[in-house]
Amino acid sequence: MKSFTIKEINTLLNGELIGDTTQKITGPEHIEKASTDQITFIGNKKYVHLWGTSNACAAIISENLNVEPLENRAIIKVKNADLAMAKVLEIFNPSLPQFDVDLHPTAVIHETAKIGANCKIGANCYVGKDVEIGDGVILYPNVAIFDATIIGNRTLVWSGTVIRERTEIGSDCIFHSNVSIGADGFGYRPDSSGLVKIPHIGNVIIGNNVEIGANSSVDRAKFSSTIIGDGCKIDNLVQIAHNCILGRSCIMAGSSGLAGSVTLGDGVVIGGASSIKDHVTIGSGAVVGGGSGVMSDVPAGKTVVGYPATDARDMFRQWVALKKLGKG
């Protein structure tokens, strides 16, 4: 089991150590649940009162909060407790599941595929014709990579993920279990014989440092490309439809979805269970509140909420007015 002294952790965080503890620290935990060998964190004043009754031997505290050390219980003051705790979580992070052999004998790898140095390919994986995989890529068991796909260095793909043909993926990406990349876009047109399927012959292009959560889908374009920019973070159960374009460092929370040909600027935040109408553009830095339905373009930097989504301040005033009417 990993363990660290309070001084070792403070060195990692470059914080201000106040007080001391002789207890070796074996991991982080919520302030209410922590045991005497664990460290906790307080980033908001509403949790300060819990420090006195917590069993944690140490706490990471945002510097704007007033918290005192206790007997054999230390605090580390930092600029941002959430970011500091992320560093602590990293040092206690268990190692990834290990491979007995780098290329499992049950994996099917086409003779034309190019596999980089130090790759690991698990049991029952499929790597198709003309696939190019960079150095240090890890494919856990039961991953399928179809023809002419390109994957950059150090990308990690968890079990059950399917990456369809002609997809282009950058370096240092993470795809969690059962991600679908490059499936057909949802396109049909009515005809006298019924619904006619519209072919989608484009592809998906994904940048560097992109993370896509379990059971999420990114559909390929009708023509051209569906594009996910560098640094985007996609939660579980997210749908990104054909021909969508996401800028850099966008965030989409769980169960949200983009209809076809939506464009997001850089740093857009889409709250959980939000839905975005097709052909809508959301400007850089805009925020869509959870559960909202966006029906029209959103300017850069704007926060919108509700269904249909509108300026957050206007919507909150409407909600207050409706509440007062209900009481009348």
Catalytic residue IDs: 242
Helix (H, G, I), strand (E, B) or coil at 318: helix
N-to-C CA span, the chain: 62
Q: How are strands ordered across the β-sheet holding 150-151? A: 114-115, 132-133, 150-151, 168-169, 203-206, 225-228, 245-246, 263-264, 281-282
Q: In what helix (H) or strand (E) does residue 281 lie, and over which residues does it extend?
A: strand 281-282
Those residues with Cβ within 8 angstroms of residue 105's Cβ, 6 or more apart along the chain or in another chain: none
Q: What is Dmax (Cα atoms) for the chain?
A: 81
Euclidean distance between CA atoms 198 and 204, whole angstroms: 17
With both helix axes pointing from N to C terminus, report the angle between 81-92 and 6-13 in degrees, rounded to the nearest 10. Answer: 120
Q: CB of 47 within 8 A of CB of 34?
A: no
Q: Is 13 exposed, middle or buried (0-12, 13-18, 19+ CB in 10 A)?
A: buried
